[in-house]
DNA sequence: TCCTTTTTGTTATACTGTGTAACAATTGTG
DNA sequence: CACAATTGTTACACAGTATAACAAAAAGGA
């Protein structure tokens, strides 16, 4: 594995090989699950020798990291601009730019989310929870907008799971009672309060 | 693969085998990444013959599905109760019960979130985005509570990514301009509005 | 208990993918 | 051109998947 020295300009053969491998992996991941993709398949599609892969990467996951780091770097820049805004109209504009960017780089986002080795399991759980909220959550039912309801229930489900994940990573602090309050204000009250603001959404 | 006939009581040997395999997989996944676990390892830990695995499951992922379906079924029941509540105090109570349940079944939630084949990549992206918000988001900086800030920035990052994921799955509808409004009201305004309500959180 | 059925264990085997080594061929650079 | 670095080719050891055939053990009904 040649050192990635930023001072020296890298050998054009190395740049070419790595670019071919990145493109081949992206191409494969738009078709198959990441876990089912073999190094042999990637090198064959990239038209690069099998052993050459191991001269640049230790694993397919490392290559995937490079692909996403390269591709989503611009996203972080846009999010940084977005996070600095405090004016309301600018917030909306930057939010729109984020989604326009996501539309342009749809391939990479699909890869980030869709690769179903384990993500499929998580997605299934999210769908179940969202369906539960969609059927049972009274404030959601009152909104009456099907698309808004679908979006809100999905938002609530993912937010709840993400909050549980963060809480477990944070050694289960603060206590469940506090988290109950957080859940109510940050997720439910917020979503219910947003129903009115989002009522202009077609559905 | 014997049919899972719910009418007939299943053979005790089958129940025993499947239980041993489920427990072995859970035990393994608390130590290693799911992608690195082999069927051989699971059957050895379960003290079951290697070939017996294929008499019950087609893949390790199928076994994982069964583990999570079994273990998280109660979560859906609690969430359903939670979603039906409209009284504020009950909402808090049910929210607390959710997190107490998550604490009891911490093993399963760890498995659901931690298995880092692809989830690790996603988690890294979430951390990057959350850090961006934590450093740049002015309303967050004003809150002054470190733990609340960490929790809120994580919530914003996961919510934004989840919203993008839903939007891509929904064939990029509604238009980015509408999504910009949704982003503002559902994520930012909600989080900012929750800062005050959550100010009692220690940190 | 005896008999039948079902499940599990044992062994062998074909196949695919990983990772390394040695050496030849090609390409970039001074 | 000559040297250095990269890539390609071939061979090999190893681990994991998946199936088949047959023996052993356990369950359930008469």
Token look-up 């999210």 returns A126
Instruction: Name the pTM for this structure.
Output: 0.76
* CA distance linking residue B93 with residue A159, whole number of Å: 18
Looking across all nucleic acid strands, the nucleotide with the smallest C1' to CA distance from residue A13 is D6
User: Strand, coil or helix: what is B109?
Assistant: helix
Q: Where are the domains of chain B?
A: 12-70, 118-196
pLDDT tops 80 at residue B184: no
Distance (Å) from the alpha carbon of A90 to chain B's nearest alpha carbon? 10
CATH of A12-71, one of 1.10.12, 1.10.287, 1.10.10, 1.10.20: 1.10.10
* Structure confidence by residue, pLDDT tens digits, A137-163: 666 666 667 667 788 888 888 888 788
Of A91, A103, A174, the CB nearest to B188: A91
pLDDT band at B6 (very low <50, low <70, confident <90, very high): very low
Yes or no: domain B12-70 corresponds to CATH 3.40.50: no
- For chain B, say whether A68 makes contact (Cβ under 8 Å): yes
Q: Which nucleotide is nearest to B50 (CA to C1')?
A: C9
DSSP letters along chain A, please?
-----SSSPPPHHHHHHHHHHHHHHHHHHTTS-GGG--HHHHHHHHT--HHHHHTT-SSHHHHHHHHHHHHHHHHHHHHHHHHH--SHHHHHHHHHHHHHHHHHTHHHHHHHHH-TTTHHHHHHHHHHHHHHHHHH-HHHHHH--HHHHHHHHHHHHHHHHHHHHHHHHTTT-S-HHHHHHHIIIIIIIHHHHHHHHTTTS--
Q: Chain A contacts of B125, Cβ < 8 Å? A: 68, 72, 112
Tokens, residue B82: 């939670």
Q: What is the pLDDT of residues B38-65, one digit of tens each?
A: 999 999 999 999 999 999 999 998 998 8
Whether A200 shows a pLDDT value over 60: the answer reads no
Predicted confidence at residue B112, as pLDDT, reads: 72
The helix (run of H) or strand (run of E) holding residue B197 is helix B190-197
| pLDDT exceeds cutoff 70 at A71 | yes
């Amino acid at each position: 594995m040649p050192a990635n020295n930023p001072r020296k300009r890298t050998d054009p053969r190395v740049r070419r090989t790595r670019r071919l491998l990145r493109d081949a992996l992206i191409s494969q991941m738009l078709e198959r699950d990441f876990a089912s993709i073999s190094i042999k398949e990637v090198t064959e599609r990239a038209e690069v020798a099998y052993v050459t892969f191991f001269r640049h990467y230790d694993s397919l996951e490392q290559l995937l990291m490079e692909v996403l780091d390269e591709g989503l770097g611009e996203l972080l820049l846009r999010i940084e601009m977005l996070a600095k805004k405090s004016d309301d109209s600018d917030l909306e504009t930057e939010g729109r730019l984020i989604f326009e960017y996501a539309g342009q780089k749809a391939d990479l986002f699909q890869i980030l989310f869709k690769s179903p080795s384990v993500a499929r399991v998580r997605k299934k759980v999210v769908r179940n929870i969202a369906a539960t909220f969609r059927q049972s959550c009274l404030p959601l039912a009152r909104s009456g907008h099907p698309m808004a309801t679908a979006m809100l229930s999905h938002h609530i489900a993912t937010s709840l799971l993400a909050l549980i994940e963060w809480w477990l990573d944070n050694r289960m602090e603060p206590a469940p009672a506090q988290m109950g309050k957080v859940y109510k204000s940050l997720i439910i009250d917020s979503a219910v309060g947003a129903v009115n603001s989002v009522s202009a959404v077609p559905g």
